[in-house]
Amino acid sequence: MKIIHTQFLAMFLILVSILPSRGQNDPLLRIEMETKSDEANYRVTPCGENGLMLYYRTTIKENEYNFWIFILYNKFMQEAWKEDVPILESLSFRKQIVVDDNLYLFFYNDEKRKSEIYNFQVLKIRLKDQRYELFTGLLPDEGSIALFDIYNETIIIGMNFPERAAGLYTFNLQTKEIVVAKEIREKKARLENVYIDTTQQTIRGLFNVYADKNNYYLELYTFDANWQEIRSLQFYAESGKKFNTGKISTVKGDTRLIFGTYDLTKNGSVDDKDFFVSEASGFYVINFSDEENVTTRYQNFLDLENMTGYLRSREYQQAKKKAEKNENEETISLGYNLLLHDIIERDSLFYFVGEGYYEDYHLVTNTYYDFYGRAMPVSYNVFDGYRYFNAFISCYDYQGKKLWDNGMEIFNIISFDLKQRVNVFFSGGETILAYNRDGKISAKIIAGPETIEGVDHFPLETTYVNDKIMSDTKSNMEYWYDNYFVAYGFQTIRNNSLSNSKRTVFYINKVGFE
């Protein structure tokens, strides 16, 4: 695929909208659903060559069920299938996954009442013949869903619990049997990742375990295709560090890589209340085949060559100065919260991608008066959401050695939903990093550690001529198929040439990179 170069950016975005004069058989590249506000619960799942699924919960109820509407659009953004599906009213949507020609959606109630028999449902939609099946079951209560996947008609569900326990459960769609593959309750633990190795027909679950303030490690469990535990391995960070997160990838044979973030500790001791925080000081890569062949490499954020090259924050500059004055630089680093992507393997290289964010607050002060009329100001912080500030990408060889790193600034994204925003697209020897925000696609092109073109912004086309976007909220973008992506969100649009001069819509745009 060839990237078209211009004087502004080495990329051309096809952002074509549906115009009123288009014929009935012309492909529709934008969809609008009118709504009252951005509180509507529209969701979008790209389903590859099978199309694009839009679904939302309605207010229609029957007995203990709520009806959800599912609409499948083909690649030309034309409606191909529509169905009302009854889902238990007490359940909320949590996760989805597309495998082969099937879309699986997971609904769960973490506060199941004693009178309720079930607390989850799995909806399987067969995209080819456009039929669906519903499966119902019972899982432990009060858990957060960390993972949802499927292998050999068996649903894999990973859960973390408020008391710092974690579990891995399976639900067979044929036998309807629920099996506890692994639970860690006697120690504090968090499920980090599950990796399905279809070549060796094994499944691996990675847990972060806290035994006590001086004993903490990653534990990797390996299961066969029947979910019988084969073995477990423990990985300990070197003195002064602790592993925060982890993602698994397969190199070849029995060799594996674990990518993740680490944090610095004081005197090798960590309190349990501080252990499961996501703030990190750097990256690590573990290369291993068994307990005797383990190599761990660490990369402090301050030592990255390109990721921090564009970070001009006062925090970064101050930390860098302190590290330069300190004889032991490993005692100082930046502290970032990072949202990690799954590992990308391409041409025997491994790409580690993450998005930096922090919790944003604003101070509110109210004045109250006591019995004598004296003013008593009271101040408190109000949570505004998660503010994203940059994305990073680093490339590694099969031994886990870093070859290069790079990054991209993220502007004006703040959200109560913590989810991936940045997309990565490879074209020849160049890589495009892009995200959707404020009605624009922001994109940057790199070639390894080099920046080909800096961040530029391309407006999404709207439906009608003279449309003016007044606001764009809850926007996102996801990969669809080939070189196409789907951008979606809520827009309030003004157009004085229309009888309805102002409208609020949920929009879906098809975006192509060439």
Assigned domain for 8 exists: no
Residue 7 covered by a domain: no
- Each residue's pLDDT tens digit, 294-349: 999 998 887 776 654 444 455 455 545 554 555 544 444 556 788 999 999 999 99
Max CA distance (Å), the chain: 78
The answer to whether residue 344 is domain-embedded is yes
Give mean pLDDT, residues 121-141: 94
Tell me: the pLDDT tens digits for 147-191? 999 998 999 999 999 889 999 999 999 999 999 999 999 999 999
Q: Which amino acid belongs to residue 12?
A: F
Is the model's pLDDT at 214 over the cut of 70?
Answer: yes
Distance between CA atoms of residues 293 and 291, nearest Å? 6
Interior angle at CA 279, CA 276 and CA 285, nearest 5: 85
Alpha helices in 78-118 (DSSP H): none
Residue 137 lies in a domain: yes
- Tell me how crowded residue 337 is: count the other CB atoms within 10 A of its CB: 20
In this structure, what token pair is assigned to residue 303?
Answer: 């030592």
Boundaries of domain holding 435: 13-513
Q: Which of 7, 17, 115, 8 is nearest to 487 (CA)?
A: 17
Strand order across the 102-108 sheet: 92-99, 102-108, 120-126, 131-137
Query: Residue 325 has what pLDDT?
Result: 54
pTM of the model: 0.86
Of 409 and 203, more confident: 203
**Helix H or strand E encompassing 319:** helix 314-325
Domain count, the chain: 1
* Structural domain contains residue 4: no
CA 227 to chain centre: 27
Q: Report the relative pairing of strands 92-99 and 79-88 from DSSP bridges.
A: unpaired
**Beta carbons of 435 and 472 less than 8 angstroms apart:** no
Other Cβ atoms less than 10 A from the Cβ of 315: the count is: 12
**Residue 66 maps to which CATH number?**
2.130.10.10
2 within some domain: no
- State the chain's mean pLDDT as an integer: 86
In three-state form (DSSP H/G/I as H, E/B as E, the rest C), the secondary structure along 392-420 is: EEEEECCCCCEEEEEEEEEEEEEECCCCC
Please report the sign of the dihedral spanned by the C-alpha atoms of residue 312, residue 316, residue 320, residue 321: positive
Is 490 inside a domain boundary?
yes
Q: Is residue 5 one of the residues assigned to a domain?
A: no
Structure tokens at 470: 């007044």
Looking at the DSSP bridge assignments, the partners of residue 149 are 156
